[in-house]
Amino acid sequence: MNHTNVTLRVNEVDYPISISTERNLSGVLRETIGLTGTKEGCDDCECGACMVLLDGQPINSCSYLAVQAEGCAITTVEGLADGDELHALQRNILEAGGVQCGFCTPGMLMSARALLDRTPDPTDEEIRIGLSGNLCRCTGYARIIDAVRTTAVELSN
């Protein structure tokens, strides 16, 4: 395997690392950088558990080579909170009961964040479409959609 030196910028911090050119971004984030909030489910672009933002766009990091992310701003779930203060999406999804096993939650949050960044006042249909790449086995989605709607209202006031 070829190794290379790259610097990945994650949540506004630079991480100079040496990695195999074949490694995926989710694995590098979790195992090399130590940010384990990003989850790995299917490892095949199906479940959205590994969703992170790359220059603000949601991507499945299981299916993205880490070396290709050099030069981009990577945002993971660890980058949502402001110190000890949860992001409104995090607070509202907790309060709505939209977290059960929690495995899908980091990916859901990142898709929801990208949705609200591009569509601050989404319809329920737009929320469903925005989260359509994220599978949840536990909640039935209604509480998650409620949380995104509540957050949109809260952030617009």
Interface with ligand FES (CB under 6 A)? 40-43, 45-50, 60, 62, 99-104, 136-139
Report the nearest approach of ligand FES to the CB of residue 58 (Å): 11
Contact in structure between 78 and 144 (CB atoms under 8 Å): no
Contact in structure between 67 and 6 (CB atoms under 8 Å): yes
- DSSP single-letter state for residue 47: S
CA distance linking residue 32 with residue 135, whole number of Å:
26
Nearer to ligand FES by C-beta: 8 or 104?
104
Nearer to ligand FES by C-beta: 3 or 142?
142
Nearer to ligand FES by C-beta: 44 or 84?
44
Report the nearest approach of ligand FES to the CB of residue 139 (Å): 5
Contact in structure between 109 and 39 (CB atoms under 8 Å): no
